[in-house]
Structure 1
Amino acid sequence: MYYEALTPQSLDYYAKKYLKNPLQWEAGSLGYNSYSSDNDFWQADVCNISKALLANSTAGTLSRPSNEDCILAYGSGNGNMKGWANLLVVTRDTVALPYPNTTILLQFRYQEYVSNSTDNNWVCDPDYLIDNNYKCNYKHFAANASSWTLGPVNANAENPYVLLPSAQWPIDYCLAQGTDIPGKYQLQYSLIIMICVLVANAIKLTCMILILSTHLEPAVTTIGDGIASFLQRPDLFTVDRPFLNRQQARRFKKLGVGGPDRWRKPRFTLRWWNAPSLPRWIITLTLCIVTIIAVSLLLEYGNSNLRKGFPQVLRPYSIGFGAYNSAATINIFKTSITSPTAEQFASNSLLLSLVTVANLPQVIVSCLYFAHNTVYTSMVSADEFSRFSSHRKALRTTDPRGEQISTCWLSLPWMYALPIALSSSVLHWLISQSMFIARTEILDTYGQPGPISYLDVGFSPLAILLALLFGSGMVLGMILNGFRKLKPGVLAGNNSLAIAAACQRPEKEVYVQLKRVQWGAVTHPEGVRPGHCCFTSQDVEAPRLSELYI
């Protein structure tokens, strides 16, 4: 996008002189942060655009929007303006020029003037900027711009907004060039990354087919599979220990001491959080809390940098999901390159470094998801096991037979598997909108690529905030679920030794695993002979307090 401000007299003079003698064109005196370049391309580009604008003006093909419409169209500070391209801003006849022979008061290309320090402030006049702490609300200004003036900015190291109110130019009208190029998009991909993804998926598919075709044994995926397996073939190691809980199973594994034991009432109400081990809780919560704190600090650091270093970013959270903003970029590993060459664009090392930075949060969250899912699996398994002590149920297995019910190859029931999987997908999507690779190629009015392009890892503060809140909500939900009560019984969790001990069915009972089963006492103590507790399809009773069972 290109802009110029001209006096009406100089517009006519300029058209007559330079359209007849285009080789005499010079850049002119620039009084408004033009960001001009000394290279030949810049001068030629400015010359061609200026000549085209003047020719269109002379031919009457430029539109003349009202000043309010002009400010609203060109003050948004984003390059995807619909329907508008280059612009001429014409001053009034009474303008007092500091340099009478100056033809062009200001000129700049949109993508260079809209920079990290100036953004869209060009549309607001000096008095408005001074009165509003050098911040330009172009919509508010347009609604109240009965008179519109422009003025030069004399930036220095101490203050990038040193205005010169004495040199103000009242604006008479705008001449705007129409266009049908609001923004073009391309699908770009890396051949080497695509090949790596295809190879990795081919290897995974091969492994899945190999396992399904060679491992024909019944799968032990759920706690129902484990119970069915041990009911079909009782474990010899746990014959004399019928109701091991998780802690007892660990001690029994080390000592190997069996025998009858007394049924005792738990010292406290069993809850879901008792199912996962303490080290598992500590590791999972520590990783989650450290990640949440780190992301919070980095988000605040990024927002403070945006507010301090880029005054035009008044509200960092106004940057949309996955929306590129030149101020919101990450340069931790020096991966951001302005105006990269074709060779740099095609460089696999550059692209891989950008991909690594942008996708590092995805890897971290995937690891946290495994820890999160393991805690849930342990809690839900303990709940599923404890329910067998209160009523008779069918076993949930991967290959249902008899009265067994299907689990659709999920270790967790659908009630928990679907919400957890959906939550994980939403979180990964939010992260994909939080950090992303942005390659921007700037096209001129005629759709041709310009000399300036950008390659960055961008970030969206709003998406990061929502991902942070959503992830924190998942952790909080896991903790709150831990306060749910378990049914009275044996706290086995997903400990295979404790499950095996509970499956020491009566010797004469067969095909128990195909029926609806319940855990409890099938016999009670008779004299010195202990009773027996196990999973069975027969009628059971609750174990009696302080009595011996085996």
Structure 2
Amino acid sequence: MSAWHSQPPIPLQPRPQPYKNIPKEDSSTTLYTEVPNDEGKIPLYRRQTFRQKWFGGISRTLRAFVTVACIVLIINISWLIYAKAKYGIKDGFGTISRTSCDAVKSSNTWLHFFINILSTLLLTGSNTFMATFCCPSREEVDKAHQRYRWLHVGSFSWSNLRGIAGRKSLVVVILACTSIPFHLLYNSLVFSTLSANEYYYIIVTEDFLTGAPFNLTGDWQPRFPGRSEDRSSSHFFGKFSRRSSAPSWERLDNKECIQAYSDAFVSSRRNVVLVSNIPSDENSVLLYGDADMTSEMTSNWWICSKIKNDGGVETCSPDKYAASASTWEVFDFPIQYCLSEKVDSVCSVQFSQTIMYVMIAFNVVKVIAMLWILFRYDAEKILISVGDAVSSFLKYQDPTTTMMCLADKRNMRSFWKSKGFARTFSRRRQFWGTAVSKKRWFFMMFSFCLFLVFGIWGFHHIKKRGVSSDLKSLWKLGFGRVSQNTMVIYGGGGNADSTAIIANLPQVILALVSFVFMSIMSSLFLAADWSTFAFCPRTLLVSSPVGKQRGTWLLGAPLGWGAAFLALQTLLHWLLSQSIFVVQINIFNKDGTPVPESASQDESRGRYAHLSNCGYSPIAIVFSIIAAVVLLLLAVIFYFRRFPAGSPPVVSTCSAAISAACHPLSMNEEWMYGKFRWGADGGVMNGVGHCSIVSDEIWRQGYARPPIQGSVYAG
């Protein structure tokens, strides 16, 4: 036997009575008696630094997140009161600003960015509360272990709800449910209302512009018979011929004309005169029609009227005609140039009072749930981190996990079934991904695939409408901008509030992806931190640090990575809010007056006074997919990272596997707040060794060392 094997282990200390301030449920096999925290007599090794006292405790972190939730609530209420007083409410909607459409689109983008920051702060706090109070106490862990079940420590898991107190489970479920409306509605609280002008398109001869006579009463449009209301518009045409040289009319070449009227939602222009070089002695008006905003949203179809069967909503692509603008024809009439009536484009940023009320109500419920559980349960008695569990199991050893020191998360049940059998230690390097169950990996990949389906559908929709899918064409459609080809649903002058639910369904899927991603990352980093105990002295990562102990990670991962993950998720939610969104469009008549509400009831023409629909931005979808792929690649990269050779078993967040690694032969209170290592503790009996988390003091005295490849261990 080697010299190391012959060294006697430190004798096990006799079990004293548990210290009176320790909860009864924590009383098991104890290795030391804790010194009371008498005022002014706290041992040096248990004193807190300034950082630990004010920034390291979980209670202060939770209070900070409650404060954030209250601040978000105050902002929501204050903003609603201010908006109602300043802008007023009409039909459940308020107008924040009314200005040019370009300015509105820009301010709408930045308002959504601000909303996503508020949402991220609130939901991060809510998720932290869920992850904290979903974790078990020592009593709940002991009850689970007695039934040969284990609970997750240091990470959120729905399976824990069966093993923790019913009231805690209820509050966790409430916090989860109150997060859903924020994903479904918050991004649609503010939306831009655009303007779309109906207009006449008139094909005329050159002499029409100099006052030549015209006649609108004949068979002027053989293919598309005129409507009776068109006949009564002669006075408009007279104005066109007299005012076509006024400053409000702009001469456009063919390409500029096609581009100006290519979108069904024309906001900065109205009526257009198309000048043809075909002479006509009988009538200076060759043809005219009206571009009304109907349920089909095909008011620009006349641009594509040259080719037979071209002009349908799924086939008309004005960009094709812009490429050969010099030979452009409209209903077989060659066009020389256009005269376009310029008007001021007026759009607005609006908010929904109903959605604001819903958000405030759920914000209040969330704050109440946070406050109740914070003051009802002592977070410091919950095993929030792996370090908390190690500290508890070192102080009061768990008899249900003895004789299984090489137990890991994935094989915990087999270790329980064959308890006492020695296992061979292997220095084989394992992937970080083994710290997370296959179910969680599958769920994240499945959620990610659902997210990709949304993007694939968008590109299929664009292709179906005849729009080129190259990046240049997609960028031309605009970032977060709507066009006739990027409307999700045609028809229906629906309500913006109901449309918001459809527009934000991808946000719910993304929230699932983000939540599972952060849960996985937290488990991976905890497992990586655990592996380092085999190679260097490390202090425990606990929720309420004292002495040399480290505080838990605020964002579930080391600060740098946690901040990066949070920023990436915030960016993703914002990009998604610009990818699919509520579209509210107010329709104006050819003379600039709003279309009356009665027009919406004219089913024969399908006209609307306003449109509420879902629009999407293909280029924003591209950026969303890129950001989501980055998130997925990060997960894959971390999955294939390997623990160093000779690392301890991958216990991850498994309470039983953690407990199995916490059976040292000796321990005292001062060591509890110092550094630890994992290795073979004590000598060898009948060729079988014992591994455990041990104090660095034991290691430095030579009573513990790294386990040997191929040797067997138990105990």
**Normalised TM-score (structure 1):** 0.74
Q: Structure 1: how far apart are the matches of 2:538 and 2:293? A: 70
Q: Structure 1: how far apart are the matches of 2:472 and 2:693? A: 67
In the TM superposition, 1:78-117 aligns within 5 A as 79=265, 84-91=269-276, 95-97=278-280, 100-110=281-291, 112=293
Aligned to 2:478: 320
Shift in CA distance, 375/176, structure 1 to aligned 2, threshold 3 Å: closer
Aligned to 2:668: 509
Aligned to 1:265: 426
Q: Structure 2: how far apart are the matches of 1:207 and 1:328? A: 41
Aligned to 1:122: 303
Q: Structure 1: how far apart are the matches of 2:486 and 2:225? A: 21
In the TM superposition, 1:197-346 aligns within 5 A as 197-218=359-380, 219-253=382-416, 255=417, 258-259=419-420, 261-266=422-427, 268-289=428-449, 292=452, 294-295=453-454, 298-299=457-458, 301-307=460-466, 315=473, 318-331=476-489, 336-338=490-492, 340=493, 345=495
Aligned residue type for 2:619: L
Q: CA deviation at 1:170?
A: 5.9
In the TM superposition, 1:464-475 aligns within 5 A as 464-475=621-632
Residue number among 511, 524, 542 corresponding to 2:706 in the alignment: 542
1:498 is paired with a residue of what secondary structure? helix
Shift in CA distance, 35/543, structure 1 to aligned 2, threshold 3 Å: farther
Q: Structure 1: how far apart are the matches of 2:265 and 2:379? A: 61
Shift in CA distance, 136/193, structure 1 to aligned 2, threshold 3 Å: closer
Q: Structure 2: how far apart are the matches of 1:246 and 1:53? A: 81
Moved more, 297-306 or 537-546: 297-306
- Residue deviations 1:166-222, cap 9 Å, x none? xx3564x6544443x134123141x33322221111111111111222212414333
Aligned to 1:396: 541
Q: Structure 2: how far apart are the matches of 1:136 and 1:196? A: 43
- Residue deviations 1:136-182, cap 9 Å, x none? 5565556xx4xxx77442xxxxxxxxxx3xxx3564x6544443x13
Moved more, 280-289 or 454-463: 280-289
Q: CA deviation at 1:499?
A: 1.0
**Higher relative CO (CA 8 A, sep ≥ 6), structure 1 or 2?**
2
Do 2:252 and 2:339's aligned partners in 1 also have CA atoms closer than 8 Å?
A: no
Aligned residue type for 1:229: S
Which structure has more helix as a fraction of its residues?
2
Aligned to 1:520: 679
Do 1:276 and 1:378's aligned partners in 2 also have CA atoms closer than 8 Å?
A: yes
Q: CA deviation at 1:323?
A: 1.9
Shift in CA distance, 532/3, structure 1 to aligned 2, threshold 3 Å: closer
Percent of aligned pairs sharing the same letter? 19
Aligned residue type for 2:633: L
Aligned to 1:21: none
Unaligned runs of 5+ in 2: 1-198, 311-315, 597-607
Do 1:5 and 1:107's aligned partners in 2 also have CA atoms closer than 8 Å?
A: yes
Aligned to 1:412: 557
Do 1:33 and 1:152's aligned partners in 2 also have CA atoms closer than 8 Å?
A: no
Q: CA deviation at 1:51?
A: 4.9
How much is the aligned-residue C-alpha RMSD, in angstroms? 4.2
- Report whether the alignment pairs 1:74 with 2:232: no
Do 1:124 and 1:141's aligned partners in 2 also have CA atoms closer than 8 Å?
A: no
Aligned residue type for 2:580: M
Aligned to 2:650: 491
Shift in CA distance, 360/37, structure 1 to aligned 2, threshold 3 Å: farther
Aligned residue type for 2:505: L
Shift in CA distance, 543/123, structure 1 to aligned 2, threshold 3 Å: closer
Do 1:75 and 1:123's aligned partners in 2 also have CA atoms closer than 8 Å?
A: no
**Normalised TM-score (structure 2):** 0.59
Q: Structure 2: how far apart are the matches of 1:182 and 1:135? A: 22
Aligned to 2:202: 4
Aligned to 1:454: 611
In the TM superposition, 1:180-195 aligns within 5 A as 181-189=344-352, 191-195=353-357
Q: Structure 2: how far apart are the matches of 1:258 and 1:548? A: 12
Do 2:265 and 2:483's aligned partners in 1 also have CA atoms closer than 8 Å?
A: no
Unaligned runs of 5+ in 1: 18-24, 154-163
Aligned residue type for 2:434: N
Aligned residue type for 2:282: N
Q: CA deviation at 1:376?
A: 2.6
Q: How many residues align?
A: 489
